[in-house]
């Protein structure tokens, strides 16, 4: 019903991720090894219903391998089952940067490489057609499928603009509200704490997730026309009650970037690191540019503003020294999308050299005041999101404001949990709550 409802509005529903997409960590390299019966009985029925009953216009292949073969070039899944057995006549597309071999993907059933034709392009496929590796019939089938969806959904008949698509529809907001209400699960209610008494005079709301709206990552991240935070909702529900909000002051690694004691060279007083930019992912050859980066805290949507460096497929080597002002244990944290590795005095202390979403890794090290430690941070970006940040710091956790506010309230509501920095695409979240939330509780 959902697929049919979406497509009734001339929007193509894309079913993903086909198939066996069981984990996020190292998803570009992991193989989901599944026997045929398990595949048929557990992993494929939902896709089969979406295609045959829902008549979805598109299916998206996953990043992972299935039985040792990348999903985007898996002949058994894409050609034998999806297209021939189920008679799917729509578009089979890749997830973003999930294509690895243009010829293998073309023969393996992929119709459309996203977000661009890095592998399935004229340079790769024309020679393959001429030497018989790929038949013209295979290409013709892909063209027919793409045109079929264009005509079926009337894309040539109606012209849309981005502004026209931004419409606030009250019925949609009501459905979203009902879904949220029906999705609430009460795990415990010891002492019949809920519902809250109307006689209470004050409520203190504490926690990092209380004062903002919740949105998932990737293409589901949007800016709503209107939103109601937990704090605002409680204020509306208890108009005569004093509602106080305290964040809880749980710092993130990025909060320490500004004061990190990195310097561009031994003996230098200039803060930051030297950054050598390469126009490839392997740090090969001569850098196209070397600049001084006063702080390592980047989140690029369209690539670095460095001449000769594109949005994707680049690498950076940051070098300098770490010179702390005080002795003690320091946490050195790095968050990046995609791969990174950190060396202190030429010893590798963090290794996350693979494709993944923005993931934080840190190491605790005893450092001596005034001593200079050689720092090398290497980073590469494949495609999609691109970010890298690093900080060296002694954590300062102060819950006194939260404790003070809680002590004067009739009721305390704690809003804990995950956010975009701890839960997202390309990495698996932890079972534990994010750092210090349990301590705050």
Give the pLDDT score at 158: 79
Domains, in order of start, for the chain: 2-152 (3.20.20.300), 191-250+399-440 (3.40.50.1700), 254-393 (2.60.120.260)
Q: Helix axis angle, 136-152 relative to 122-130, nearest 10°? A: 130
Give the pLDDT score at 248: 83
Between 63 and 164, residue with greater pLDDT:
63
Q: How far apart are the C-alpha atoms of 147 and 142, rounded to whole Å? A: 9
| Residue 24 scores a pLDDT above 80 | yes
**Rounded to 5°, angle at Cα 281 from 279 and 287:** 40
Give the pLDDT score at 281: 94
Q: How far apart are the C-alpha atoms of 349 and 367, rounded to whole Å? A: 14
* 428 C-beta neighbours (distance < 10 Å), count: 15
Over range 150-165, report the average pLDDT.
79
In terms of DSSP H, where are the helices of 260-339? Answer: none
Residue 163 — pLDDT band, cuts 50, 70, 90?
low
Between 335 and 426, residue with greater pLDDT:
335
DSSP 157-226: T----HHHH----HHHHHHHHHHHHHT------GGG--SPPTT--EEEEESTTSSS----SGGG----SS
Residue 218 — pLDDT band, cuts 50, 70, 90?
low
Mean pLDDT in the chain? 91
Q: How far apart are the C-alpha atoms of 254 and 362, rounded to whole Å? A: 12
Residue 437 — pLDDT band, cuts 50, 70, 90?
confident
Q: What is the pLDDT of residues 237-274, one digit of tens each?
A: 999 899 999 988 778 888 899 999 999 999 999 999 99
Q: How far apart are the C-alpha atoms of 58 and 91, rounded to whole Å? A: 5
| Residue 427 scores a pLDDT above 90 | no
Give the pLDDT score at 161: 66
Give the pLDDT score at 220: 67
Give the pLDDT score at 376: 98
Q: How far apart are the C-alpha atoms of 348 and 193, rounded to whole Å? A: 51
Just list the catalytic residues. Answer: 95
- Of 132, 178, 204, which Cα lies nearest the Cα of 412? 204
Q: What is the pLDDT of residues 95-111, one digit of tens each?
A: 988 999 999 999 999 99
Tell me the two tokens of residue 142. Answer: 């892909």
């Amino acid at each position: 019903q959902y697929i049919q409802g979406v497509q009734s509005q001339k929007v193509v529903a894309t079913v993903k991720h086909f198939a066996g997409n069981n984990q996020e960590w190292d998803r570009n390299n992991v193989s989901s090894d599944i026997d045929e019966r398990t595949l048929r009985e557990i992993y494929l029925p939902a896709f089969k219903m979406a295609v045959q009953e829902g008549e979805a216009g598109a299916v998206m292949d996953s990043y992972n391998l299935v039985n040792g073969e990348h999903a985007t070039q898996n002949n058994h899944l894409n050609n034998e089952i999806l297209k021939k057995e189920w008679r799917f006549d729509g578009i089979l597309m890749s997830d973003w940067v999930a294509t690895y071999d243009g010829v293998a993907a073309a023969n393996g059933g992929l119709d459309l490489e996203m977000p661009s034709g890095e592998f399935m392009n004229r340079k790769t496929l024309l020679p393959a057609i001429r030497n018989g590796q790929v038949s013209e019939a295979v290409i013709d089938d892909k063209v027919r499928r793409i045109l079929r969806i264009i005509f079926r959904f009337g894309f040539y008949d109606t012209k849309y603009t981005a502004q026209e698509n931004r419409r606030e529809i009250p019925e949609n907001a009501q459905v979203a509200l009902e879904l949220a209400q029906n999705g609430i699960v009460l795990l415990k209610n010891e002492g019949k704490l809920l519902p809250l008494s109307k006689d209470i005079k004050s409520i203190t709301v504490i926690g990092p997730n209380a004062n903002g709206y919740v949105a998932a990552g990737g293409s589901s991240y949007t800016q709503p026309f209107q939103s109601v935070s937990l704090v605002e909702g409680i204020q509306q529900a208890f108009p005569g009650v004093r509602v106080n909000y305290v964040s809880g002051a749980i710092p993130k690694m990025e909060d320490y970037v500004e004061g990190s004691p990195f310097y561009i060279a031994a003996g230098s007083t200039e803060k930051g690191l030297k950054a050598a930019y390469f126009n490839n992912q392997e740090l090969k050859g001569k850098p196209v540019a070397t600049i001084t980066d006063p702080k390592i805290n980047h989140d690029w949507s369209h690539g670095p503003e460095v001449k000769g460096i594109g949005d994707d497929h680049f690498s950076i080597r940051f070098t300098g020294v770490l010179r702390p002002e005080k002795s003690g244990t320091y946490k050195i944290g790095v968050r990046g999308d995609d791969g990174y590795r950190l060396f202190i005095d030429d010893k590798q202390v963090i290794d996350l050299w693979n494709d993944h979403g923005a993931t934080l890794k840190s190491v605790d090290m005893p450092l001596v005041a005034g001593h200079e430690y050689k720092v090398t941070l290497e980073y590469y970006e494949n495609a999609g999101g691109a970010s890298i940040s690093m900080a060296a710091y002694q954590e300062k956790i102060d819950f006194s404001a939260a404790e003070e506010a809680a002590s004067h309230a009739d009721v305390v509501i704690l809003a804990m949990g995950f956010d975009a920095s701890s839960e997202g695409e390309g990495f698996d979240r932890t079972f534990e709550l994010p750092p210090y939330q349990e301590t705050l509780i």
